[in-house]
Chains A and B, each alone.
Chain A
Amino acid sequence: MNLSRFFAAIVRRELQIAFKRWGDLASPLMFFVMVASLFPLALSPQHEMLRNLGPAVLWIAALLATLLSLNALFRGDIEDGSMEQLVLSPYPLALAIFGKTVAHWLLNGLPLVMLAPALAVTYYLPVEGVRALSLTLLIGTPTLSLLGAVGAALTAGVRQSGGLLALLVLPLMLPVLMFGARATDLAGSGEQITGPLYLLSALLLLALSLLPLASAAAIRISLD
């Protein structure tokens, strides 16, 4: 089997498992929807204020929802021994980890990207703002998944690691949050967002090229 088929097999298996566990899949998304839709209800309904707060709230909710979903990323595989089999297989572990991360993004990141425009309406974001929000989330959430995978791999051997995971990866995720929310904000007030978009893309490329290797190394340490 060549590498691309191995990668496809990993992704397909992850999706297969995830669709058998709807509950695990839905709860981070529910969290995102609830946080993002409760803010406009609790705040006073002034269009101007909601429009100013919207980008930040939506991005923070997306970030926290991603964090919520990360804890279980490798835990199950390590507990049931599947990870040992992947580590011992003749294929590169980094590719297997990358496959799992891609599946994680498809199951958690992509739904966030698709839900965000609907929620943005409740903040009276202008069309440009909604477009920028979708675009920045589309570029930003894969970076979040890749960063989170490193944290999940490092803490996979630790019990009750939720807090530790957040502590480890949150600082690394901050640049994505700042560029993402800022770009959405700028676009909403009719300004150019090429700069933050380029920076987000650069972060994604950097994450794509380095982080699967880091996650694989961390998994080996966790299994030792």
Chain B
Amino acid sequence: MTRLSAINLTLWRGPNCLFEELSFQVDAGSLLLVRGSNGSGKTTLLRVLSGLTRPETGHVEWCGESIEKTRQTFGAALAYFGHADGLKADLTVTHNLEFSAQLFGQSGEQIPGLLNALNLSQCAQLETRYLSAGQKRRTALARVLMSDAALWLLDEPVTNLDAAGREYVEDRLHAHVAGGGLAIAATHEDIRITSESPDEIFLGDGA
């Protein structure tokens, strides 16, 4: 069963407890929003869920096994859209995405179509250092969208995007979840993919 479970996660940063004994699970076909004010630990929670940061207590399980032990299967099932875009400033948009396609084991033939849909085709041959913040964000999103990963971890996926870009992301997110995927998004904006509101967890003062 495709499922991500967080079990008793606790993490302190300096004197601040970001979360304590936090447990939840996300099943196939659902979206979880992580809410909270700036600095409440949304990004850190996503990093813990991805395995980048180790929690002080507890662990994360993917399909019933700890992600520390199944790094390879978990890595193949994960698309991580982080705080940093993960783009090489000296390479063009297309080169950046081709490298990611190789990592995903894909040929990269869907890249032009994806760039078109994200309204990036005019900068496909541009080095990413010349892109605006929103365009960089879109390029990084393209990487997630072309992966066939089951689990999407998205850190502020709609920030810096214009209305059209945002709508496209929500559509794709909907399609991903409807197709049996899992998604966890840290955001301080509303993301609507269906008429009913998705599950949410609150970090920080709202907890």
A residues in contact (CB < 8 Å) with B: 1, 5-6, 9, 13, 16-17, 20-21, 76, 79-82, 84-85, 87-91, 223-224
Contact = CB atoms under 8 A, between A and B. Distances in A.
Interface in B137-185: 143
A21 B90 contact: yes
Nearest to B100: A85
Interface of B: 50-54, 71-73, 75-76, 78, 80, 82-91, 95, 99-100, 102-103, 105, 127, 143
A5 B104 CA distance: 12
B11 to A, nearest CB: 11
Given A81-B86, A89-B75, A1 B54 contact: no
Contact of A13 (B80, B99, B143): B99
A84 B52 contact: yes
Nearest to A17: B90
Contacts of B80: 84-85, 88
Contacts of A89: 75, 103
Given A80-B89, A90-B73, 6 more contacts: A1-B105, A21-B90, A88-B75, A90-B76, A223-B52, A224-B54
Interface centre among B51, B54, B95, B99 (most CB of A within 10 A): B99
Contact of B99 (A9, A20, A87, A88): A9
Contact of A81 (B50, B72, B84, B91): B84
Contacts of A85: 80, 82, 86, 100, 103, 143
Contacts, number: 71
Contact of B103 (A17, A20, A79, A91): A91
B85 A81 contact: yes
Nearest to B85: A81
Contacts of A224: 52-54
Given A89-B75, A91-B103, A224-B52, A84 B82 contact: yes
B86 A84 contact: yes
A190 B111 CA distance: 61
Contact of B50 (A5, A6, A88): A88
Contacts of A20: 90-91, 127
B75 A81 contact: no
A85 B103 CA distance: 9
Contacts of B90: 16-17, 20-21
A69 B65 CA distance: 41
A84 B87 CA distance: 11
A88 B51 contact: yes
B98 to A, nearest CB: 9
Nearest to B128: A80
Nearest to A89: B103
A159 B95 CA distance: 30
15 contacts: A1-B103, A6-B102, A16-B91, A17-B91, A21-B90, A80-B85, A80-B87, A81-B82, A81-B84, A81-B86, A82-B87, A84-B82, A88-B80, A89-B75, A90-B71
Contacts of B88: 13, 17, 76, 80, 82
A122 B147 CA distance: 56
Contact of A9 (B78, B86, B102): B102
B133 to A, nearest CB: 13
Contacts of A9: 99, 102-103
Closest 8 A-B residue pairs measured CB to CB? A81-B84, A90-B75, A81-B86, A20-B90, A90-B76, A85-B86, A1-B105, A9-B102
A81 B83 contact: yes
Contacts of B73: 90
B114 to A, nearest CB: 17
